[in-house]
Amino acid sequence: MRVALFITCVNDTLFPGTGRAVVTLLRRLGCDVEFPRAQTCCGQMHVNTGYPEEGRRLARHFVDVFAEYDAVVAPSGSCAAMVREQYPRLARTPAAAGAPAGEGPPPGSFAAEVAETVPKVYELSEFLVDVLGVTDVGAYFPHRVTYHPTCHSLRGLHLEDRPTRLLEQVRGLELVPLPGADECCGFGGTFALKNPAISAAMCADKVHNVTTTGAEVLCAADNSCLMHIGGTLVRQRAGVRIMHLAEILAATESGDDRTVRG
């Protein structure tokens, strides 16, 4: 099975440690992972901010880059949800929308390529639990951790308890429930810049809930939400650090996760 890592532009640029953790983790589980150098961005920022043409161009590029792989793994619920929910819409032309039911998109069309590639794209915990069939990834992380499910993981991808099942199997890890976990943190991409007052108010409530757990680490499957919550935690000197799910799952007792820390 040829497995490609879709690192996502945010992780590539700002959180390379998460990408290194995914590589470490997947190799430990016997999976040879490739990194297609031509990848850039899924186009979510453009589409969700109201620039569908730019987004469509990036979606075409994504499909070109990843079509040849058997599985594409993304350490981001949000970007995986973008591909799964929005690519078919971006590929839907007015003509295709009027096509008789039961007929697929014409072969070779963008819509056909999307229909082919999208089902092979997995968020990390989906790939681990559903494709590799593991929940104990051999990780060791002796810390008190709370998990924020993030909206696109929860309501977009319906990851359900996959991430927490993985965390529960980590030796030494104490998983504490997060009050109001299903509420949005207020990031919302460019929402954070367009509606900063509401975004900050939502984050203040999220941070309050995080600190009441007494956790040392706030974990999520999305670094963009974590960047927003974490930026507020640091500003408030709250003493809680953020970690991507992959970074916790890559950590082991022998410390062979050094690539993670760079």
Partner 1 sequence: MNGDATFLGMPAFPANAAVAVRDSQLRYNLRKATHTIRGKRAAAVGELPDWAELRRAGKEIKDHTLRNLERYLVRMEEAVTAAGGHVHWAADAAEANRIVADLVKATGETSVVKVKSMATQEIGLNEALELEGITAYETDLAELIVQLGDDRPSHILVPAIHRNRAEIREIFRERMADWGRAAPEDLTDDPRALAEAARLHLRERFLSTRVAISGANFMIADTGTLVVLESEGNGRMCLTLPETLISVVGIEKLLPSWQDLEVFLQLLPRSSTGERMNPYTSTWTGAVEGQEFHLVLLDNGRTNVLADEIGRQALRCIRCSACLNVCPVYERAGGHAYGSVYPGPIGAILTPQLRGTASKLDASLPYASTLCGACFDACPVAIDIPEVLVHLRGKVRHARVERLGMRAAGWVFNRPARLARAQRLGGRLRRFVPGRLPGPLSAWTDTRDIPDIPPESFRDWWDRTDGGVQ
Give CA–CA dist 38/73, Å, rounded.
15
Among 3, 23, 219, 243, binds partner 1 (CB under 8 A): 23
Give CA–CA dist 6/19, Å, rounded.
9
Give CA–CA dist 3/89, Å, rounded.
25
261 binds partner 1 (CB under 8 A): no
* Contact range with partner 1 by CB under 8 A, out of 15-23, 105-113, 114-122, 166-174: 15-23
* Contact range with partner 1 by CB under 8 A, out of 99-107, 110-118, 164-172, 222-230: 222-230
2 binds partner 1 (CB under 8 A): no
User: With respect to partner 1, which residue has the nearer C-beta, 183 or 216?
Assistant: 183
> For residue 163, which of 223, 219, 212 has the smallest C-alpha distance?
219
Tell me the three state secondary structure of residue 38: coil
Residues numbered 145-184 forming contacts with partner 1, rule: CB under 8 A: 151-152, 154-156, 182-184
Residues numbered 61-80 forming contacts with partner 1, rule: CB under 8 A: 61
Residues numbered 181-210 forming contacts with partner 1, rule: CB under 8 A: 182-184, 186-203
User: With respect to partner 1, which residue has the nearer C-beta, 24 or 213?
Assistant: 24
Give CA–CA dist 204/201, Å, rounded.
5
* Contact range with partner 1 by CB under 8 A, out of 100-108, 116-124, 211-219, 227-235: 227-235
Are the beta carbons of 25 and 31 closer than 8 angstroms?
Answer: no
Give CA–CA dist 123/131, Å, rounded.
11
> For residue 179, which of 203, 204, 212, 130 has the smallest C-alpha distance?
212
213 binds partner 1 (CB under 8 A): no
- Beta bridge partners of residue 247, listed in sequence order: none
212 binds partner 1 (CB under 8 A): no
Among 4, 25, 26, 45, binds partner 1 (CB under 8 A): 45
> For residue 32, which of 54, 2, 53, 6 has the smallest C-alpha distance?
2
Q: How far is the CB of 174 from partner 1 (least distance, A)?
A: 26
Give CA–CA dist 125/80, Å, rounded.
11
Among 25, 39, 105, 123, binds partner 1 (CB under 8 A): 39
Give CA–CA dist 69/211, Å, rounded.
42
User: With respect to partner 1, which residue has the nearer C-beta, 63 or 173?
Assistant: 63
Residues numbered 93-112 forming contacts with partner 1, rule: CB under 8 A: 94, 97
User: With respect to partner 1, which residue has the nearer C-beta, 110 or 187?
Assistant: 187
Q: Report the interhelical angle of 52-66 vs 110-117 (nearest 10°).
A: 60
Give CA–CA dist 192/211, Å, rounded.
21
- Site size toward partner 1 (CB under 8 A) is 72
The residue type of 142 is P
Q: How far is the CB of 107 from partner 1 (least distance, A)?
A: 24
Residues numbered 110-139 forming contacts with partner 1, rule: CB under 8 A: none
